[in-house]
Structure 1
Amino acid sequence: MATKRVAADVPVVRVDGRELRPGQSFQGIEYRGKDKDGNDVWRILVYAGDKWVETPDGKRKRVVKTDKHTFTGTFRDAKKFKAKLEAERQDGTYTPPSKETVAGYLREWLDTTARRALRPSTHAIYEVNVNKHIIPALGHIRLQKLDSNTIDRFYSSLEDKLSPATIMKIHTILLSALSKAKADGIIKQNPAKNATPPRVEDPEITVLTQEQLDRLLETAKGTRIYALLYTLAYTGLRLGEALQLRWSDVDLDRGVLYVLHKTKTKSSIRAVSLDDDVVAVLRQHKEEQDEIKEIEGERYQDMGLVFATERGTPPSPSNLRNRYLYPLCAKAGVPRINFHALRHTHASLLMAANVHPKIISERLGHASIETTADRYQHLFPTLQAEALEQYKEYRRKHGKGG
């Protein structure tokens, strides 16, 4: 096959002794000309069904529907691509061509599938990452043209701007959205599956010692978040679970609270026993909250929340962290921690007290005891050493010659 130029610089391609100009076809493949790089471009028509319609004069007419595919390369390769499409049509794996772009599809996916499947807070995070990072870089690409190499280059371009953890969140979004596109028959394969996001190192778990925790709680007395800190430290609740807690979920007489609302997993739905100190702190907190209700009157929006603003609305986690927790850590002279560190602290103190890992797992709402063991494996060497000393003491007392 050879290509030559004729008058007016119209490209001509020679195929099996024939000359084809743009718009002319051979063996069901239409020559379209050349792209900007000088490669031959072909249009391939694939039968997509037919139907009979009635014309205005009352006659019946058979209308054949065809899908138009564009292929860039040699005529020989275009023939192979056409044969592949025909085979896919025969075996039911054929995907019609679509002009849908990554941007268009992601916006529709966010407004439909993602909105139904995700919690509002998670959906908001997805929306920010899609609009701020994915669409500006990949939005113009046709969805069916997106490949793993393009996604890999996209991840590389983000490495100087975002943390590996954030890039991994973006990867999760693409995996989920493109999986839906594949299930809907828009694309044949999910290109994000073969992309390689950066490795995310396991974050170092920060815990407070009992002495440090006591100092922090003592410093927090009289502040808005004292009861919240105390509850997190001695129940192991996640901050989100605590902020969704309602008084109807708490039985102070029986010393138990129930985690029920918008939990992370099914295993997160659980009952958590409260010791007498936590019960006393929560009783005092409720009395103070009732006084605020009386003072605020109609301005108080009573949503039944255990931990609320002075107007009864859900507090902002970032405001609690930056305005209260960080300054309290500095004042108490303890490491600067986030709220989740109190959950880790609760687990570590239970382990130090030789509480069975199964009980710890249940209190934390982990899916399995293996999750707990994996999360806190760094504490095991110390616990094993303590257990070994206890065993040695037992042998001295009860063994031969004891």
Structure 2
Amino acid sequence: MAKKEQTEKPEKKRRARGEGTVLQRADGRWVARVPLGDGKRKEEYYDTKQEAERAKRRMLNERDAGNLAVGKDQTFGEYLLYWIGVHGPTVLLQTHSMYLSYINFRLIPGLGHVKMKKLTVEMFQTLYQSWEEELSPNTIRLIHTLAKKALNDAVVWKKLSYNPVAHAKLPKSRRAKVHVFTDQELDRLLEHAAKSRLYVLFVMALFLGMREGELLGLKWSDIDFKEGVLQIQNKIYYTKHPLLEKMVFIEGLPKTVAGQRSVFLPSDIIDMLRDHLEEQKKIQEKKPDWNGSGLVFCSNTGGFMTDANIRYHFSRLLKEASIEHTKFHALRHNASMILRRLGIDSVVRKEMLGHSSISMTDDVYGHATRKMHRDAATQMENLFKKENE
């Protein structure tokens, strides 16, 4: 009788030590478990095996990067630094830089030492109230949005069972007071601006409502002199690079989709731009180290200008024109007011200013001057006279 051939059973592949496990509990739920060393381990629970497998891979990556702690031991500060490392690459560089600034200089000094499981809505409420003397309500709201976003992810990742910052009460948003120029101030402003090398920049901010970054990113190739049309499609940010940890220029898109727009130029501004181009060419001929970036408004060597440079020149201009100090952005608000006084249709004003809605154009940028109020009173007087005739 032939001897039955013995077949070898394949050896069951052993799991490498420390790679974690995924197990199904008696109640049907799945648990992802990762060892941390010293007898500690991290566990998270999910409804499906697929979710648990994904969680295990994520926790292993966190552990190997030194960012995974047992839930009750991880501090808010440790979590925020891990979160920005994951979330940072998904946002614009300038947004990443702003998030890091809020985390390092506001959230970590305030609550970074608190264990994640110990965070309460009262802690955030107290922190926000302590900032009210030095920060604007809008800035506090931005930091709150960041904290809420980070802790929402903590809930999704099973680090927290609920978001403790979600129901914190925020200070009421208040609209910043904007200086609206009188006709006399406008005359003085333009008279003194004409002596500045940034004259055209100030005029375009005041009459076209262009943002600071849009002016800094403007290139000669964006201007069609023949058709008299300007394409606004770039914006320059001067910000601290979150990885290089130094200030850098970043060329990006305008603030919103509506910010990418075409603007028809008045003939006076076209002539000013032509003169500005000729002056720039003369300077370029004398500068062997000229950058050649094609920027309309540039440094003495053709490179990018900083926003601080513009603000310095604008501050000097206000002083020379005997006008109270105000932000450069006030020129954009005044542009909206000037267009409104000229009777420009609200849809056209919205598109010229690059707003996403008419309500933004009218509510936020819809300032009224004393002259407009006086004209309204005169119109009512004329109406009463007609009624009494």
Greater RCO structure (CA 8 Å; 6+ sep): 2
Match of 1:35 in 2: none
Letter in 1 for 2:152: S
Task: Summarize deviations over 1:370-391 as a string: whole Å, max 9, x none.
Answer: 2212114442997587468669
| 1:54, distance to aligned residue in structure 2 (A) | 4.0
Match of 1:334 in 2: 323
Give the alignment partner of residue 305 of structure 1, picking from 282, 295, 312: 295
How many Å separate the matches in 2 of 1:180 and 1:330?
49
Match of 2:202 in 1: 229
How many Å separate the matches in 1 of 2:310 and 2:188?
19
| 1:363, distance to aligned residue in structure 2 (A) | 0.8
How many Å separate the matches in 2 of 1:394 and 1:359?
30
CA RMSD between the two structures: 3.7
- Aligned: 1:102 with 2:76: yes
Alignment check: 8 A CA contact 1:209 1:345 kept: no
Letter in 2 for 1:311: T
Give the alignment partner of residue 271 of structure 1, picking from 251, 256, 262: 262
Tell me the TM-score normalized by structure 2: 0.72
Alignment check: 8 A CA contact 1:234 1:278 kept: no
Distance 1:89 1:230, change over 3 A: closer
Distance 1:379 1:300, change over 3 A: same
How many Å separate the matches in 2 of 1:275 and 1:395?
39
Letter in 2 for 1:167: I
- Aligned: 1:125 with 2:98: yes
Match of 1:243 in 2: 216
Per the alignment, in what secondary structure is the counterpart of residue 192 of structure 1? coil
| 1:235, distance to aligned residue in structure 2 (A) | 0.8
Match of 1:190 in 2: 163
| 1:116, distance to aligned residue in structure 2 (A) | 2.6
Alignment of 1:17-166 (within 5 A): 54=14, 98=71, 99-118=73-92, 120-166=93-139
Match of 2:274 in 1: 283
How many Å separate the matches in 2 of 1:365 and 1:357?
12
Per the alignment, in what secondary structure is the counterpart of residue 194 of structure 1? coil
How many Å separate the matches in 2 of 1:260 and 1:291?
27
Task: Summarize deviations over 1:295-335 as a string: whole Å, max 9, x none.
Answer: 222x222222211111222212123213x111211111223
Distance 1:163 1:395, change over 3 A: closer
| 1:232, distance to aligned residue in structure 2 (A) | 0.8
Match of 2:345 in 1: 356
Letter in 1 for 2:79: Y
Alignment check: 8 A CA contact 1:182 1:188 kept: yes
Task: Summarize deviations over 1:228-248 as a string: whole Å, max 9, x none.
Answer: 101111211111111111111
Per the alignment, in what secondary structure is the counterpart of residue 227 of structure 2? coil
Match of 1:219 in 2: 192
Alignment check: 8 A CA contact 1:219 1:328 kept: yes
Per the alignment, in what secondary structure is the counterpart of residue 286 of structure 2? helix
- Aligned: 1:202 with 2:180: no
Alignment check: 8 A CA contact 1:53 1:63 kept: no
- Aligned: 1:181 with 2:154: yes
Letter in 2 for 1:359: V
Alignment check: 8 A CA contact 1:164 1:199 kept: yes
Distance 1:394 1:363, change over 3 A: farther
How many Å separate the matches in 1 of 2:369 and 2:192?
31
Question: What is the percent sequence identity of the aligned residues?
Answer: 32
How many Å separate the matches in 2 of 1:54 and 1:128?
46
Gaps spanning 5+ residues in structure 2: where?
A: 1-11, 17-21, 26-30, 34-42, 60-69, 235-252
| 1:347, distance to aligned residue in structure 2 (A) | 1.0
How many Å separate the matches in 2 of 1:361 and 1:166?
25
How many Å separate the matches in 1 of 2:219 and 2:160?
45
Letter in 2 for 1:367: S
How many Å separate the matches in 2 of 1:377 and 1:155?
30
How many Å separate the matches in 2 of 1:386 and 1:285?
37
Alignment check: 8 A CA contact 2:205 2:331 kept: yes
Distance 1:266 1:180, change over 3 A: farther
Gaps spanning 5+ residues in structure 1: where?
A: 1-51, 57-61, 69-84
Residue range with higher mean Cα deviation, 201-210 or 231-240: 201-210
How many Å separate the matches in 2 of 1:210 and 1:272?
25
Count of aligned residue pairs for this structure pair: 325
